[in-house]
Amino acid sequence: MIKIGIVGGTGYTGVELLRILATHPEAQLTAITSRKEDGLPVADMYPSLRGRVDVAFSSPDKARLTECDVVFFATPHGVAMAQAPELLAAGVKVIDLAADFRLQDVAEFEKWYGMPHSCTAVLQEAVYGLPELHREAIKTARVIGNPGCYPTTMQLGFYPLLKAGIVDAANLIADCKSGVSGAGRKAEIGILFSETSDSFKAYGVSGHRHTPETVEQLQRMTTDKVGLVFTPHLVPMIRGMHSTLYARLTKEISNEALQALFVDAYKDEPFVDVMPFGSHPETRSTRASNMLRLALHRPGNGNTVVVLVVQDNLVKGSSGQAVQCMNLMFGLDEATGLNHVPVMP
């Protein structure tokens, strides 16, 4: 059994980790931290976990995290890098769901997250936790920087096109939408029900912190200079993410060959579903699952390819992907504990 600690177990990504790990056959939940909820049984805060999780929250100073095999950080940015060195020295592996170990460019991290990076030595060995693209490196990693939710959709959507060298890498466009849970479990006016229901808006149009993360990773897929216009939107639903990606073709290719690029790239991937050409994947087809679905379109058979990508922002976009990485790090079948069928309706 893998002894697991979770730092920050009261937010949406934290409870999603608990939901997934509660039925994981190789997981032993050992410590769940929360300063405010010290001593409170987890199931008292989340009745959905009654009969599944029998541990209580403990303050960070009481939690015996160094006795765990792996610690997940479901915390704000900056927390993981402050605690990672001590855990690594004790032989504990670290999976951070925040941004501390996503960006290798320290200057970019400090620019977008507004804080100094205090753990650059650990950052240098951190592996970006997108299994479909970095599986072998994840298997031997001690530190994982779990990808952002939007970046997951953009990278898996653009990857086959960039790898094949058939699109203009300098002019990629991503028009993305996310449910309100992507903003986290907090009390803010902008994410209250009466503020978001029956409404729709873009945000971060002049610059979003997921842009440098995505560009850094896309650049690894091609020798051409990558340029990305990324516009996120908030939609009035709880969970779910839909990214509409646009790329201009630079080489002649048939629709059948385009489809084949994606089918070949993901044919062995347990959590990427390449749907038939011209399909329209829906967010509800991935709800509460670790599945990402995508489909290709080519309006008017012209030189623009459109990739539609959907996922659950809290599962494949965060906690599920983190567990997928954990499975690889500990030599388990990658899909262990993650074969949940999407919830319908």
Cβ pair 142, 88 in contact under 8 A: yes
Q: How far is the CA of 91 from the CAs of 70, 94, 230, in angstroms?
A: 9, 10, 39
Is residue 176 among the annotated active site residues? no
Cβ pair 127, 138 in contact under 8 A: yes
Query: Using the 8-state DSSP alphabet, how is residue 98 labeled?
Result: S
Q: Give dist(CA 17, CA 53) in Å, integer.
A: 12
Cβ pair 93, 83 in contact under 8 A: no
From the candidates 68, 149, 176, 325, which is the catalytic residue? Answer: 149
**Listed residue (205, 259, 264) closest to 230, CA to CA:** 205
Q: Give dist(CA 18, CA 326) in Å, integer.
A: 14
Phi, psi of 293 (to 5 degrees): -120, 145
**Listed residue (36, 230, 68, 207) closest to 149, CA to CA:** 230
Q: How far is the CA of 259 from the CAs of 232, 255, 256, 286, 307, in angstroms?
A: 26, 6, 5, 21, 11
Q: Is 39 helix (H, G, I), strand (E, B) or coil?
A: coil
Residues marked as catalytic: 149
